[in-house]
């Protein structure tokens, strides 16, 4: 049975995780210091070592949390649709302007991918595990699940999605940014044979 002290520590840990997972997606690994995360969590800097042995240990957990949140969000989107519409919904959500405009609440692969290779091996391992989960989520929406072609398409689809969001975020012209998203969506829907109209009610 948890004591009030352990419950309070767990609550504080969750605040650190929530604040830190948003911060790394918004600002990147290098900009996220211990002091910054603790301040965003409204906790004292001195309390950090009650939760982590080091900044690296914190980054491992934050990377895992950000990835888990993203997988959960897109899994719910896919699960809410019929089997034939799940991948269409997932593609639309990933390529939505709101995803581009809100990196702190979005997929950490697109937000942090270019920085991950410079992180410690344990941080990269945490990121890779969640990246594989996203690839598997895409693959599970395929009609030919289990075939080599389904996994290959999932790999290229995930790479295309991430690249499109990175490019759309880099562009300072809203119309061009939106065009990147629209063109990518149309290409992937065609690639997955999902471009036929939705059945009418």
CATH number at residue 143: 1.10.357.10
Q: What percent of the chain has pLDDT over 90?
A: 78
Q: What pLDDT is stored for residue 196 in this prediction?
A: 39
pLDDT at 106: 94
Q: What's the whole-number mean pLDDT along residues 184-197?
A: 74
**Inside any domain, residue 72:** yes
Residue 165 is assigned to a structural domain of this protein: yes
Domain that holds residue 86: 54-191
Q: Residue 201, class by beta-carbon neighbours within 10 Å (0-12 exposed, 13-18 middle, 19+ buried)? A: exposed
Residue 43, domain member (yes or no): no
Task: State pLDDT tens for residues 19-78.
Answer: 999 999 999 999 999 999 999 999 988 889 999 999 999 999 999 999 999 999 999 999
Torsion, Cα of 80, 85, 86, 89 (10° steps): -90
32 belongs to a structural domain: no
Question: From CA 20, how far away is CA 41, in angstroms rounded?
Answer: 8
pLDDT at position 6: 86
CA 4, CA 79: separation in Å to the nearest integer?
37
User: What are the b/e assignments for 35-66, b being 16+ CB within 10 Å?
Assistant: eebbebbebeeeebeebbeeeeebbbbbbbbb
| Better-scored residue on pLDDT, 2 or 119 | 119
Token pair 């990835």 is found at 67
* Average confidence score pLDDT of the chain: 91
Q: Band the pLDDT of 145: cuts 50, 70, 90.
A: confident
Return the higher-pLDDT residue of 182 and 141. 182
């Amino acid at each position: 049975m948890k004591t009030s002290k352990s419950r309070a520590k767990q609550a504080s840990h969750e605040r650190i995780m929530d604040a830190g997972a948003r911060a790394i997606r918004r600002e990147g690994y290098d900009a996220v210091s211990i002091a910054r995360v603790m301040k965003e969590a409204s906790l004292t800097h001195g309390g950090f070592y009650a939760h982590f042995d080091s900044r690296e240990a914190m980054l491992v957990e934050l990377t895992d949390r950000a990835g888990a949140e993203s997988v959960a969000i897109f899994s719910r989107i896919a699960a809410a649709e019929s089997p034939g519409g799940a991948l269409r919904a997932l593609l639309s959500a990933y390529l939505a302007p709101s995803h581009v405009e809100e990196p702190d609440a979005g997929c950490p692969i697109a937000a942090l991918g270019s920085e991950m290779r410079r992180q410690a091996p344990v941080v990269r391992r945490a990121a890779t595990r969640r990246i594989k989960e996203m690839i598997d989520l895409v693959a599970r929406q395929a009609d030919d699940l289990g075939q080599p072609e389904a996994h290959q398409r999932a790999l290229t689809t995930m790479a295309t999605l991430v690249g499109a969001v990175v490019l759309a975020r880099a562009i300072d012209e809203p119309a061009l940014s939106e065009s990147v998203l629209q063109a990518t969506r149309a290409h992937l829907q065609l690639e997955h044979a999902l471009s036929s109209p939705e059945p009418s009610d």
